[in-house]
Amino acid sequence: MSIKTSQNYSPNFSTRRRNPEKIKYIVYHYTGMRSESKAIKRLTDDRAKVSCHYFIKRNGQIILMVPELYEAWHAGKSKWKKDISLNKNSIGVEITNKGHDYGYQSYSKKQILSLVKLTKYLIKKYKIKSSNILGHSDIAFERKKDPGEKFPWKHLAIKNIGIWHKIEKRKLKKIRKLTISDFESNMFIKYLNKIS
């Protein structure tokens, strides 16, 4: 199985080849820029020091920017489970979206269709677990919001990509109205400081 892509290579990657067995995460991002062309320009600018493996345009076109066996610079300071600095063992997928600062949009159907195809290909190729399909906000929650609340995690879970909760809608609404005490809030902050 292969995926149809075009190429627009980024100079921003680590030149040492990775062991394919070390690739165990897929991380989704949104571009968070005013336009798709500006996002592509930034990801291919050697001064920007950022990149991704794959870029998905609004029309669904997939662009390969960094070959999978090289480390793209997409995750930054990051952590998941016992792993830190997830660039070294993840595939980064940027999806065009203006993001919260420039008019956050719904993702297009064509983008999601391409994302499903690409992700299924990567899951099969690298034997990636459902619990290791992540958003940038999962691995860098103190500083990132992407891919955001409009990202269709539930739809992806139906397609056997990632995970989604099984809480009834009625119960979920009730849970969302709950508040935590100052004591619980302070304990949570202490815990976060301990694990950082």
Residue 28 included in any domain: yes
- The CA distance from 69 to 91, in Å, is 9
For the chain, give the number of residues.
196
Whether residue 184 lies inside any domain: the answer is: no
Query: Is 123 part of a structural domain of the chain?
Result: yes
pLDDT of residue 67: 97
Active-site residue list: 94
Residue 189, pLDDT score: 76
pLDDT digits (tens, 9 = 90+) for 89-104: 999 999 999 999 999 9
- Please indicate, yes or no, if residue 105 is contained in any of the structural domains: yes
Look at residues 185, 90, 180, 93 and name the one whose alpha carbon lies nearest to residue 128: 90
What pLDDT does 125 receive?
97
124 belongs to a structural domain: yes
CATH number, domain containing residue 15: 3.40.80.10
Whether residue 94 contacts residue 38, with contact meaning beta carbons closer than 8 Å, is answered with no
Instruction: Name the token pair of 117.
Output: 């195809």
pTM for the structure as a whole = 0.88
In terms of C-beta density within 10 A (0-12 exposed, 13-18 middle, 19 or more buried), how is residue 139 classed? buried
Check pLDDT > 70 for residue 161. Answer: yes
Full domain range(s) for residue 99: 6-167
pLDDT band of 165, cuts 50, 70, 90: confident
Structurally, the chain folds into a number of domains equal to 1
57 found inside a domain: yes
**Residue that is written with structure tokens 């005490």 in the block:** 181
Two structure tokens written together for 6? 């075009």
In a domain, 140, yes or no: yes
In a domain, 68, yes or no: yes
Calpha distance 103→85 (Å, rounded): 29
Report the 10 Å Cβ neighbour count for 55. Answer: 28
